Amino acid sequence: MFTDRVTVYLKAGDGGNGCASFRREKFVPKGGPDGGNGGKGGDIIFKTDPNISTLLDFYYQPNIKAPRGKHGSSSNKAGRSGKDVTVKIPVGTVIIDPVTKRTIHDFVTADESKVMACGGRGGRGNACLKSRRNPLPREGEPGHPGEEATLLLELKLLADVGLVGFPNAGKSTLISHLSAARPKIADYPFTTLSPVLGTVKYDVYKEFVIADIPGILEGAHDNVGLGHTFLRHIERTKVLVFVIDMGSHEHLDPVKDYRILEDELRFHKPDLITKPRIVAANKMDLPDAADRLQLFLDSGVHEKETVFPISAIAGEGLKELQNAMIQKVEEIKREQCDS
């Protein structure tokens, strides 16, 4: 199961109490206060792990607790600190305040870590509380409570290129030809139920990441089909590839499909519509596809975007499409480096 949105409850460890005790030893009369400090409570730390790709673990275990610090004891013995708890999260996890919806932190790099809830400080023992005004404190300080937090975790995959299209358009067929990803491919809608990432290698040592997300239908923003929540996984991509079916059945209207895709992206997040885009006219091996492509080109719906006629199943036209992806990805990377 792929889970990309969970609410978690964190409770960092409370600090241990400071101890109140007095030194009692033979030949040491009036030994004075010797209560040790309480230990600090454990922190809860989130750390990204590139080997994790879902928030599923949190779905089963949404409560995360760190152990408390031990209490201080006599003879000036400080309590041991509670152990920090490090929680592994996938790269691309966004931490959001569920009430204000404000982003608290965005984990975008591997092995990035941050304390999300601080353990409470230990209370001071009466040895530490001794002062000129109060030379014999009879009580130790209580430990401070550890921080509590309710957080919304949202995973937004990190890919360079995102494939968008109607169900059955051939997105999974395309990613399986371009990369080593092997999503299920079948002749029915919604074969892909969760996003799939693939790495496209080129020029010996270079690569970019491509994401195949579930198909989008008209009204996805109103939860038609699988809804539009999966679109969040293409929010960070540099380039979008619209995969348009040109040939699989006679009632097909690629111009309408293209407009619907644009509308659904806009409903999800207006920024998506301004992302650099490439159009892949798929299933060109089928009869009538050439005529439909002509109608599509004549309509001008694609405006200035380049259209690549391909057959994902036969692997035709993929080299040109891949080159266009590389060119756009590199162009944007360069721009990001310059700015």
Ligand X SMILES: Nc1nc2c(ncn2[C@@H]2O[C@H](COP(=O)(O)OP(=O)(O)OP(=O)(O)O)[C@@H](O)[C@H]2O)c(=O)[nH]1
Q: What is the 8-class DSSP label of residue 175? A: H
CB 250 within 8 A of CB 279: no
Of 37, 192, 237, 322, which lies in the binding site for Mg ion, with binding defined by CB under 5 A? 192
CB of 269 to ligand X, least distance (A): 20
CB of 189 to ligand X, least distance (A): 5
Residue 73 token pair: 């004891």
CB 310 within 8 A of CB 325: no
Q: Rounded to whole angstroms, how far apart are CA atoms 333 and 339?
A: 10
Q: What is the 8-class DSSP label of residue 85? A: E
120 binds ligand X (CB under 6 A): no
Neighbours of 92 (CB within 10 A): 21
48 binds ligand X (CB under 6 A): no
CA distances from 16 to 75, 81, 82, 116, 267 (A): 16, 8, 9, 20, 51
Task: Work out what residue 216 binds among ligand X, Mg ion, none; the CB cut-off runs from 5 to 8 Å by kind.
Answer: none
CB of 47 to ligand X, least distance (A): 33
CB of 54 to ligand X, least distance (A): 18
Q: Rounded to whole angstroms, how far apart are CA atoms 97 and 21?
A: 43
List, in sequence order, the alpha helices (H) in the chain.
56-60, 126-129, 171-178, 254-268, 289-299, 318-338
187 binds ligand X (CB under 6 A): yes
176 binds Mg ion (CB under 5 A): no
CB of 71 to ligand X, least distance (A): 57
Q: Which of residues 192-251 bind ligand X (CB under 6 A)?
A: 192, 214-215
311 binds ligand X (CB under 6 A): yes
CA neighbor of 70 nearest in space, from 79, 78, 61: 79
Task: Give whichever of 190 and 202 is closer to ligand X, judged by the CB atom.
Answer: 190
Task: Give whichever of 118 and 241 is closer to ligand X, judged by the CB atom.
Answer: 241
Residues near Mg ion (CB under 5 A), total: 3
| Listed ranges 91-99, 186-194, 197-205, 253-261: which one lies at the site for ligand X (CB under 6 A) | 186-194
318 binds ligand X (CB under 6 A): no
CA distances from 172 to 26, 94, 224, 243 (A): 82, 26, 21, 10
185 binds ligand X (CB under 6 A): yes
Q: What is the 8-class DSSP label of residue 42? A: P
194 binds Mg ion (CB under 5 A): no
Of 172, 179, 237, 282, which lies in the binding site for Mg ion, with binding defined by CB under 5 A? 172
List, in sequence order, the alpha helices (H) in 195-250.
none
Task: Work out what residue 165 binds among ligand X, Mg ion, none; the CB cut-off runs from 5 to 8 Å by kind.
Answer: ligand X
CB of 229 to ligand X, least distance (A): 15
CB of 3 to ligand X, least distance (A): 19
Give the DSSP per-residue string, 247-271: SSSTT--HHHHHHHHHHHHHHH-GG
Task: Give whichever of 108 and 313 is closer to ligand X, judged by the CB atom.
Answer: 313
**Which chain residues interact with ligand X by CB under 6 A?**
165, 167-173, 185-187, 189-192, 214-215, 282-283, 285-286, 311-313
> Under the rule (CB under 5 A), what is the footprint of Mg ion?
172, 191-192
